Structure 1
Amino acid sequence: MRASATPVPSLSFTSLSPVAATPMLAMPASFPLAASDRLLSLVSEFRSLQEPIERVKRLLDYAAVLPAFEDSSRMDSNRVPGCTAQVWVDVGMDGQGRMRFWADSDSEIAKGFCSCLMDILDRAKPQEVMGMRAEELRVVNIGIVAHSRVNTWHHILVRMQSRTQELLNVPAMVTYLPR
């Protein structure tokens, strides 16, 4: 887990190549859209792309803007089980009780999945993270039919949720003041 929450830049139309007709909205951290609204925006963006190759290119655009991942976070406890590629997810919580995520992979496609999921769930409330279902992500069909790639969405989401649950189950530290 990270000691401090480093800001993850929001994706915006100007930060990515102009492949999609519907850009992701860049909102200030103080006014984040609900995760469900960010998911709808992502679905709309990918649906606007007619050809599978356009969707793959867009996913690679997302991979290109994935924030740097600290080498110290590349540990077994942050690995995403079930993925063919090596994928790591780290989690924290900011001062407003919103979830913070950092991720990386040795695969550009998996990096794109991580970036999309972070765009949806970073700065979301814990209950939004826990309420997201992998089925909701299937509509973001990028045209990759390999079974391992289709399951990547699911494995990364499940890892984000399990790490969120672990963080929420950590008992609060009690400070005893002298009398």
Structure 2
Amino acid sequence: MSLPADAITAVETFQAAAGWEQRARLLMQWGERLPALSDADKTDANRVHGCESQVWLVGALQDGHWQFAASSDARLIRGLVALLLARVNGLSTEALQQVDLPDWFDQLGLSRQLSPSRSNGLNAVLQRMRSLSDV
């Protein structure tokens, strides 16, 4: 399956990183680049349940392709969510259903740093994206 341009950039950037410290810095930078969600979007209806941190997610289908925006109160999670958005933004509903989260973070060299709770949280974000796309 071909990757969106942002996802290709992410893979190239993270694979070039010389170890965990550099990846952690990159992760924070990706999180800082996430556009801020408006307070109007930070509602309980947009909150992703199943995350230890607070994560809010909104999505819209534009010309058959999904565009998601998200935010989190935790810096590391914001970075991980930013990388997830890089992977899924621009996908069709069908392609979104096929995203393999462990494989994606494995490609980035981040899977070992994903604790079970972070992994579950990111899975909850992806499930929420899929449920929005089911509507």
Sort the TM-score into its range (normalised by shorter chain).
0.7 to 0.9
2-structure distance, mates of 1:42, 1:76: 30
- Structure with greater strand percent: 2
- Gaps (5+ residues) in structure 1? 1-33, 167-179
Which consecutive segments of 4 or more residues in structure 1 shift more than 6 A? none
Q: Which runs of 5+ in 2 are unaligned?
A: none
Corresponding position: 1:151 with 2:135 = no
Q: Which residue of 2 aligns with 1:165?
A: 134
* 1:42 lines up with 2:10 in the alignment: yes
**Residue 63 of structure 1 contacts residue 115 of structure 1 at CA under 8 Å; is this kept in 2?**
yes
1:90-169 to structure 2, matched below 5 A, reads 90-94=58-62, 96-139=63-106, 140-142=108-110, 144-166=113-135
Could you state the TM-score of these two structures normalised by the residue count of structure 1?
0.65
Larger RCO: 1 or 2 (CA < 8 Å, sep 6+): 2
TM-score, normalization by structure 2: 0.84
- Look up the match of 1:22: none
Task: Quote the sequence identity (%).
Answer: 23
RMSD between aligned alpha carbons?
2.0
1:63-119 superposed Cα distances (whole Å, 9 cap, x missing partner) = 11101201111122211121110001111111x221111100000111111211212
Residue-pair matches, total? 132
CA change 1:119–1:36 in 2 (3 A) is closer
- CA shift, 1:156, in A, is 1.7
Contact 1:91–1:99 (Cα < 8 Å) also in 2: yes
SS in 2 for 1:91: strand
Instruction: Write 1 or 2 for the structure with the bigger share of helix.
Output: 2
